[in-house]
Structure 1
Amino acid sequence: MSSPWSPRKKLELNPSRYPARLRLLAVLVVAPAILLAQVPWWALVLLLAALPLLVRGWQPAQLSQMELHEQRLTLIGRHWQELECPRRVLRAGPWMAIQTPKGWLHLFDDQAPREQLQPFYQWLWTNKSN
């Protein structure tokens, strides 16, 4: 049973546009390194042709749903996880990564309005273990 002091908040998150930008950034960073590598020309062409195919399927594990209730945070993404206190939380600009025992989950600002994400940010900040 939840008390009025620990309100239950549930948030469905939208898909983000940032993973596609991260894939493009990966191609732009790796392509010059491939061009500068001292390999035969045929290997260079093969690597450059394969690069877009290699990063096409890559995507960070994103959150699809978050629920805050009675001092526990439930995260649903690639895996389901319930946290009483987060291990590590990294935040840089529009991106936040949460380390769980099952791996990292990523949250981007374009998945929900900041007003809806604010209670979750506050919970993560006040309950961090470090």
Structure 2
Amino acid sequence: MSSAWSPRRKVELAASRYPARLRWLAALLVVPAIVLSQLPGWAMLLLLGALVVLVRGWRLPQPVALELHAQTLTVTGQHTQVMERPLRVIRHGPWLAMQTPKGWLHVFEDQAPVAELQPFYQWLWTNRKHS
């Protein structure tokens, strides 16, 4: 990481354990709706099997690295994206979701220490769009 006086910051993000938990939590919320529906038994089993396949294949897009230049934020993940101005940003405690032109990206608390992410939180807050 750069020095405290440098206008450039970079943080490498570790893998998070939360996306897997969110996938299975979403499945647990859908299962009662399928079971309580008035569908025949074979249709319920088919939907429950499809749900398991869909949940196992779903991947939450997460960045691998964040780099803050003087006026831009570079997000490296599946696609490298450069943002001069953030779109919508949701921050709830140490969890951060940011909308980019290619979709939503999520940064969880276990990917990096909050102290390393603080400059990114500040940049996103001060450069946000006011509607």
Q: Normalising by structure 1, what TM-score?
A: 0.90
Provide the residue aligned with 2:72 in structure 1: 72
Provide the residue aligned with 2:105 in structure 1: 105
Provide the residue aligned with 2:41 in structure 1: 41
Contact in 2 for aligned 1:14/1:111 (Cα 8 Å): yes
More deviation in 60-69 or 99-108? 99-108
- AA matched with 1:96: L
More deviation in 109-118 or 71-80? 71-80
Offset of residue 92 of structure 1: 2.1
**CA separation in 2, counterparts of 1:45 and 1:88?**
39
Q: Which runs of 5+ in 2 are unaligned?
A: none
Deviation per residue, 1:71-101 (Å, 9 max, x gap): 1110111211111110110122342111111
More deviation in 83-92 or 111-120? 83-92
Q: Matched residue pairs, number?
A: 127
Deviation per residue, 1:18-77 (Å, 9 max, x gap): 100101111110000000111111111222233222100112110110001111110111
Q: Percent identity?
A: 63
Does residue 124 of structure 2 align to residue 121 of structure 1? Answer: no
Q: Which runs of 5+ in 1 are unaligned?
A: none
RMSD: 1.6
Q: Normalising by structure 2, what TM-score?
A: 0.89
Offset of residue 6 of structure 1: 5.6
Secondary structure at the aligned position of 2:28 is classed as helix
**CA separation in 1, counterparts of 2:33 and 2:50?**
14
**CA separation in 2, counterparts of 1:64 and 1:77?**
5
Secondary structure at the aligned position of 2:21 is classed as helix
Correspondences of 1:79-98 after superposition (within 5 Å): 79-98=79-98
**CA separation in 2, counterparts of 1:55 and 1:23?**
6
**CA separation in 1, counterparts of 2:31 and 2:92?**
25
